[in-house]
């Protein structure tokens, strides 16, 4: 039996498996520049974040209808249930779809169909986190939040993703302030490829409650002290970090050092279709590579519930 866990760092578009991509391409009359799933899988060799993002955005061309987004979310929920996921806070990238002429309502309503029956069918409670693409303008982020207003009852929070370096958190000060006034929870990717100062800025300027990745936090001891003191959770993604070459190999991953420093760490899958595994696979792989005991793995799983935006539960900062 896998450990019960919450998944807090998961891009739903990053769960698009090659088989489903080809199925949706055929259904929608979209031509993919790969002969078959095998050839597509061979393209999953990345040098860095950008080389992954290029493929990630291009493959989204197959996602067009509510049915497509429903199928995508249903497949993720079924797979993650088998790996012990009981709660999932799911990122989505509306700008990657609206830019292609797919309205945000199609995305949210389609995903929502699968999420609405998730508790009953898979035993997984869910929430959506709307992510802004940081390599797009601050104005576009504000327009996206406006377009999302009719769907806010489905959305627990906002996040910030895509190409990090050169797009510091402060660029999005205004949209985070508006989201805060709407009662949305706040997270942001920071310190994946970008410097530790981006983590500090996400806390100071955006007021984030969790940091996505935060991998480079250890480079700044005063930042580590602050994250420990304020019990700010980090959503780490070990297999992602190896595939995108943020760490050279899993045995060199800083997770254990971060846990030993007293940081509130969680383990997540990021884009499981692209990075070689779902969240249980991440636990297993990093557990072996770093020699994590069962107790240590259980602490990581417990952290995931404490760090979740679950109503009426004891939160990590209160507990």
Decide if residue 7 touches Zn ion (CB under 5 A): no
CA 311/CA 303 separation, integer angstroms: 16
Q: Which of 17, 74, 192, 209 is catalytic?
A: 192
Decide if residue 89 touches ligand ES4 (CB under 6 A): no
Query: How near is the Cβ of 127 to Zn ion at its closest, in Å?
Result: 16
Write out the chain in H/E/C secondary structure: CCCCEEECCEEHHHHCCHHHHHHHHHHHCCCCCCCCHHHHHHCCCCCCHHHHHHHHHHHHHHCCCHHHHHHHHHHHHHHHHCCCEEEEEEEECHHHHHCCCCCHHHHHHHHHHHHHCHHHHHCCEEEEEEEEECCCCHHHHHHHHHHHHHHHHHEEEEEEECCCCCCCHHHHHHHHHHHHHCCCEEEEEECCCCCHHHHHHHHHHHCCCEEEECHHHHHCHHHHHHHHHCCCCEEECHHHHHHCCCCCCHHHCCHHHHHHCCCCEEECCECHHHHCCCHHHHHHHHHHHHCCCHHHHHHHHHHHHHCCCCCCCCCCCCC
Query: How near is the Cβ of 92 to Zn ion at its closest, in Å?
Result: 12
Phi, psi dihedrals of residue 305, rounded to the nearest 5°: -75, -40
Number of residues that bind ligand ES4 (CB under 6 A): 11
Decide if residue 270 touches Zn ion (CB under 5 A): yes
Residue 192 among the catalytic residues? yes
Decide if residue 162 touches ligand ES4 (CB under 6 A): yes
Decide if residue 74 touches Zn ion (CB under 5 A): no
What is the contact mask toward ligand ES4 in residues 46 to 85, using x (rule: CB under 6 A)?
---x------x-----------------------------
Q: Residue 7 binds which one of ligand ES4, Zn ion, none, with CB within 5 to 8 A depending on kind?
A: none
Of the candidate residues 86, 171, 189, 216, the single one contacting ligand ES4 (CB under 6 A): 189
Query: How near is the Cβ of 243 to ligand ES4 at its closest, in Å?
Result: 9
Of the candidate residues 161, 179, 200, 201, the single one contacting ligand ES4 (CB under 6 A): 161
Segment interacting with Zn ion, rule: CB under 5 A, options 40-48, 170-178, 264-272, 286-294: 264-272
Which residues define the annotated binding site for Zn(2+)? 9, 11, 189, 270
Of the candidate residues 12, 14, 88, 148, the single one contacting ligand ES4 (CB under 6 A): 14
Q: Residue 238 binds which one of Zn ion, ligand ES4, none, with CB within 5 to 8 A depending on kind?
A: none
Which residues define the annotated binding site for substrate? 271
Q: Residue 17 binds which one of ligand ES4, Zn ion, none, with CB within 5 to 8 A depending on kind?
A: none
* Closest alpha carbon to 214 in 43, 27, 8, 26: 8
Strand partners, 224: none
Query: How near is the Cβ of 18 to ligand ES4 at its closest, in Å?
Result: 17
By the criterion CB under 5 A, which residues form the site for Zn ion? 270
Indicate which residues carry an active-site annotation.
192
By the criterion CB under 6 A, which residues form the site for ligand ES4? 11, 14, 49, 56, 161-162, 189, 192, 240, 270-271
């Amino acid at each position: 039996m896998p450990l019960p866990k919450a998944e807090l760092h998961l891009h739903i578009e990053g769960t698009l498996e090659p088989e489903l991509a080809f199925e949706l391409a055929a259904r929608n009359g979209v031509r993919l520049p790969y002969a078959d799933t095998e050839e597509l899988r061979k393209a999953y060799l990345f040098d860095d974040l950008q080389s992954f993002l290029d493929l990630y955005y291009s493959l989204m061309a197959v996602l067009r209808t509510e049915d497509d987004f429903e199928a995508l979310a249903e497949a993720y929920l079924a797979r993650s249930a088998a790996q012990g996921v009981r709660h999932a806070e799911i990122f989505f990238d509306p700008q990657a779809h609206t830019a292609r002429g797919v309205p945000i309502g199609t995305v949210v309503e389609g995903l929502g169909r699968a999420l609405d029956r998730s508790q009953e069918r898979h035993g997984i409670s869910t929430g959506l986190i709307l992510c802004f693409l940081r390599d797009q303008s601050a104005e576009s982020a504000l327009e996206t939040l406006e377009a999302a207003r009719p769907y806010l009852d489905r959305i627990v929070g906002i996040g910030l993703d895509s190409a990090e370096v050169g797009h510091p958190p402060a660029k999005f000060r205004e949209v985070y302030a508006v989201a805060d006034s709407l009662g949305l929870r706040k997270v942001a990717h920071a310190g994946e490829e970008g410097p530790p100062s981006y983590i500090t800025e996400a806390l100071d300027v955006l007021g984030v409650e969790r940091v996505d990745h935060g991998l480079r936090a250890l480079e700044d001891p005063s930042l580590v002290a602050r994250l420990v003191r304020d019990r700010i959770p980090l959503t780490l993604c070990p297999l992602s970090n190896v595939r995108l070459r943020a760490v050279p190999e899993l045995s060199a991953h800083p997770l254990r050092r971060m846990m030993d420093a007293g940081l509130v760490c969680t383990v997540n899958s990021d884009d499981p279709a692209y990075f070689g595994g779902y969240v249980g696979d991440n636990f297993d792989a990093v557990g072996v590579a770093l020699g994590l005991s069962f107790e240590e793995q259980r602490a990581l799983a417990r952290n995931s519930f404490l760090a979740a935006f679950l109503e009426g539960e004891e939160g990590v900062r209160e507990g």
